[in-house]
Amino acid sequence: MAGYDYDLFVIGGGSGGVRAARVAAALGKRVAIAEEYRFGGTCVIRGCVPKKLYVYASQFPEHFADAAGYGWTVPEASFDWQTLVANKDKEIARLEAIYKRNVEGSGGETFHSRAVLVDRHSIYLVAEDRTVSADQILIATGGRPAPHPALSGHEYCIFSNEAFDLKELPKAIVIEGGGYIAVEFANIFHGLGVDTTLVYRGQEILSRFDIDLRRSLHETMEKKGIRILCHAVSESVRKTAEGRLDVQLNTGQTLTADQVMLAIGRIPNTENMGLEGVGIELGKTGAIVVDQYSRTNIDNIWAIGDVTHRVQLTPVAIHEAICFIETAFKDNPTAPDHDTIPTAVFSQPEIGTVGLSEDDAIKRYPDVEIYRASFRPMRHTLSGRDEKMLIKLVVDGASRKVIGAHILGPDAGEMAQLLGIPLKAGLTKDDFDRTMAVHPTAAEELVTMYKPTYRVKNGERV
């Protein structure tokens, strides 16, 4: 080991890479990390963090409108996009500095450079024009929005990266995609007053989530004024004489907008990094293939986070980093646990979910009980807002275990975090029933739905 410059070299300073570098350095290992863009990675610079700040920004018009029912008179509000962008920039710069400082404070070395593999122990730092060596190498280079070169006029389109920093707020936007990023941005732009259309080729937005939530969210978004066109695909994007964009759909419809945002998936960052030269195995989508311990086919090279295309979420990348440290540096082989991951969609209303959807549960269990409550949350009574909350539990009839919990409504993401604990612990519906309600809350429905709304036995609803 002494023959190498470092015990560990990490490529990519995002959620996973920074955590691994920091923890390894704190263990006394000689660690370096290279980041080609900005420390903090996707989550901090152009993902979770700025996204959530923009979600907050976009919720104010509804808060202002809801206030009237509670006796408030709110003067006509105005919004300044440039202020939001500048304040967001300040916050992410603060976080970026913390990420970098955390590595350096633990004794790690940071490089602002693209890193490319030369051989299984050597890394070329482009900005420094030099090669360093390491005993172990961790690739945590994340992913980026999938391009759409087949779309005529794709060069006029933006991705989530650019959406955060537009010079001005568009009057109208078309967002192509039906995943959580497309849905969240549709709500953000609509909330900020932009005429918003979501174009999705599938039957219903947010595939893989519980169908009840998908349909209810779709309905609510449309009620707010977001146009959602399912079974639709953009065929071309053309610049008009007025400098706007005409989007021609396969349905024959033409939409006119100022921005077209593509959110059709994300692809791993594995190109031009010397991976093929070193012989690292890549999967069909270009993701790095790893074993259960995040080790590649080259035994001193590891990969974690989005670049492995397992579960593309920040806490998962961080968890994989911690497991990697246990395995590689603490002689404690630890495989990341990807089972029962709670997650949220910061749509408006929010989705919070953990465990199996109803459809997935009935494929795996012969007897499934569904507990379902749909109601107007208390805060929408005086506000008069016509929006329902949906709470649903999916229970295995044989073991009584709660195997899925799905919420659509205010603070659903916060609830999903708490529900992650009993579901991970394998608690039963009886445990939920024995738990005292907190009143008056919306979440109390989780422990007061005593009778199943319906059962599904061998695929038949009874």
> Known catalytic residues?
439
| Whole-angstrom distance, CA of residue 24 vs CA of residue 148 | 39
Closest to ligand FAD by CB, 174 or 181: 181
Supply the DSSP string of 236-254, one letter for each residue: EEEE-TTS-EEEEETTS-E
- Residue 151 beta carbon to ligand FAD: minimum distance, rounded to whole angstroms: 20
DSSP letters spanning 363-406: HH-SEEEEEEEEE--THHHHH-----EEEEEEEETTT-BEEEEE
Q: Does 48 bind ligand FAD (CB under 6 A)?
A: yes
Q: Which helix (H) or strand (E) holds 144?
A: strand 143-145
Kindly indicate which of the ranges 21-29, 36-44, 190-198, 437-445 contains the residues binding ligand FAD, using the contact rule CB under 6 A. 36-44
Q: Using the rule CB under 6 A, is 34 a contact of ligand FAD?
A: yes
Q: Considering only CA atoms, which of 432, 347, 421 is closest in space to residue 390?
A: 347
Q: Which of 31, 47, 196, 324 binds ligand FAD (CB under 6 A)?
A: 47
Residue type, 104: E
The DSSP 8-state label assigned to residue 288 in this structure reads B
Integer Cα distance of 160 and 266 in angstroms: 10
- Token representation of residue 296: 């590649």
191 binds ligand FAD (CB under 6 A): no
When asked if residue 13 is in the footprint of ligand FAD (CB under 6 A), the reply is yes
Kindly list the distances between the CA atom of residue 307 and the CA atoms of 12, 93, 137, 343, in Å, as whole numbers in the listed order: 10, 24, 14, 20
Residue of 8, 12, 199, 232 interacting with ligand FAD (CB under 6 A) = 12
**Sole window of 40-48, 92-100, 324-332, 427-435 interacting with ligand FAD (rule: CB under 6 A):** 40-48
Under rule CB under 6 A, which residues in 98-137 are in contact with ligand FAD? 114-115
Applying CB under 6 A, which of residues 23, 24, 43, 351 lies at the interface with ligand FAD? Answer: 43
Span interacting with ligand FAD, options 10-18, 254-262, 356-364, 397-405, rule CB under 6 A: 10-18
Residue with smaller CB distance to ligand FAD, 305 or 380: 305
Indicate which single residue of 176, 306, 358, 369 sits in contact with ligand FAD (rule: CB under 6 A). 306
CB 209 within 8 A of CB 353: yes
Residues 12, 30: Cα–Cα separation, whole Å: 17
- The β-bridge partners of 396 are 368
Site for ligand FAD in 143-172 (CB under 6 A): 160
How close are the terminal C-alpha atoms of the chain, in Å?
64
Q: Candidates 216, 234, 259, 269: give the one binding ligand FAD (CB under 6 A).
A: 269
Binding to ligand FAD by residue 176, rule CB under 6 A? no
Residues contacting ligand FAD: total by CB under 6 A: 34
Q: Does 35 bind ligand FAD (CB under 6 A)?
A: yes
Cα separation, 297 vs 319, in Å, equals 21
Q: Which residues bind ligand FAD (CB under 6 A)?
A: 11-17, 34-37, 41-43, 47-48, 51, 114-115, 140-142, 160, 181, 269, 273, 305-307, 312-315, 317
